[in-house]
Amino acid sequence: MSIVESPEEKLELITRNLQEVLNENIIKDVLEVQKRPLKVYWGTAPTGKPHCGYFVPMVKLAHLLKAGCEVTVLVADLHAFLDNMKAPLEVVKYRAKFYEKIIKSVLASINVPVEKLKFVLGSSYQTSENYTMDLFRLSNVVSQNDAKRAGADVVKQVANPLLSGLIYPLMQALDEEYLGVDAQFGGVDQRKIFVLAEENLPSLGYKKRAHLMNPMVPGLGQGGKMSASDPNSKIDMLEEPKQIRKKISSAYCAPGEVEGNGVISFVENVLQPVQQLAAENTNHFNFFINRPDKYGGPITYTSVDDLKADYAAGSLSPVDLKSGVADSIVELLAPIKKSFDSDPEFQEAAEKGYPVAQPKQEKKQKKPKNKGTRYPGAGKDASPTVAEAAEGIKSASLS
């Protein structure tokens, strides 16, 4: 992968396909005035299994490397523990390993030089004395409401939230300082945490950072983002081809509707950028649909706009669109599945990080034993037998 040279080219690559950039002037100062590589980190909390939406940040990591940036990938294991509320640290440890393996496999599959990335485990520094003291200091200037609002789009929201959900965004802000970066990259769902960092880190004597935000890939249902915690909204990186086709087949994809269509968004936000990266051409797009002859025969799109226009006009049906997307995803994920199948450590991380829940066996209902009436207290509850009743009548007549 060749590195671009001019500050203008680097800035274009760094900001390409992003939904929003905060404090772009910081990036320009590093590139144009300080004339050094931009230091960026991308963090991911190992909770649910990574899905195909992760290709979006993976492509951006490739852009950052091509722009000569020094890129750190934070596997935020303690964040996962604070957010998940279910998995103990022993399980999160294996999930962190699984995430690192998945990320490296995905990047290798799209020809991104993994050796240029620096991987850091959150717990390797987040339990240090200095970090803990800074967390106390930050908690002394950030209100409960601000912390809750910052994590609203990231931390799981429940009726009676744990204190951990308030700690989460404070730690993410501090990570910028402790990883020594100029910018943090993440999804647009992280925006409120990024703003919290910008507003509060200076109160600890730390500088503001730039923030890069990629768009979120819509889920396969109607509305909402593709989420690791919602199995019906996503396709896992290790999903079997049969399951991929089943999920795409049942995805929400109303005829003629382009806006809010998760299947078309996947083409635009995942398949197209991956192809452009491989071809090193921002105009490249080649999407093949093996359509039956009776419906017009096979067709290849070289423009997403043309695909959208045909779909809106009804000349491309949901069934045919889904078929092409399913084939593309199966092809996209094949090298990742191959990497998993050949790596015992990868397999162990999956097995121990995401143990399959065993079905609970229903206990057999015990039949109540007939204890008879010859036990203490029987007279209070038990009805007398016929013989006992007769004996009682006889005694009464003799008295």
Q: At CB < 8 A and 24+ separation, what contacts does 146-154 make?
A: 146/196, 147/196, 149/192, 150/192, 150/193, 150/195, 150/196, 151/192, 151/193, 152/192, 153/189, 153/190, 153/191, 153/192, 154/83, 154/189, 154/190, 154/192, 154/193
Annotated domain spans of the chain: 7-214, 241-353
64-78, 268-282, 381-395: least confidently modelled range:
381-395
Residue for token pair 């989420």: 227
230: confidence class by pLDDT, cuts 50, 70, 90: low
Residue 212: its H or E element: strand 210-214
3-class DSSP state for residue 269?
A: helix
Q: For residues 121 and 159, what is the distance between their CA atoms, to the nearest angstrom?
A: 31
- The per-residue DSSP string of 62-107 comes to HHHHHTT-EEEEEE-HHHHHHHHSSS-HHHHHHHHHHHHHHHHHHH
Angle between helices 129-139 and 164-178 (to 10 degrees): 120
**241-353 is classed CATH 1.10.10.10:** no
pLDDT at 369: 64
Mean pLDDT of all residues in 173-192: 97
What secondary structure letter does DSSP report for 51? Answer: B
Q: From 119, 229, 126, select the one nearest 172 (Cα to Cα).
A: 126
What digits encode the pLDDT tens for the residues 316-358? 999 999 999 999 999 999 999 999 999 999 999 999 999 887 6
What digits encode the pLDDT tens for the residues 86-137? 678 899 999 999 999 999 999 999 988 888 899 999 999 999 999 999 999 9
Strand pairing category for 299-301 and 39-44: unpaired
Question: Are the C-beta atoms of 64 and 14 separated by less than 8 Å?
Answer: yes
Residue type, 126: Q
**7-214 is classed CATH 3.30.450.20:** no
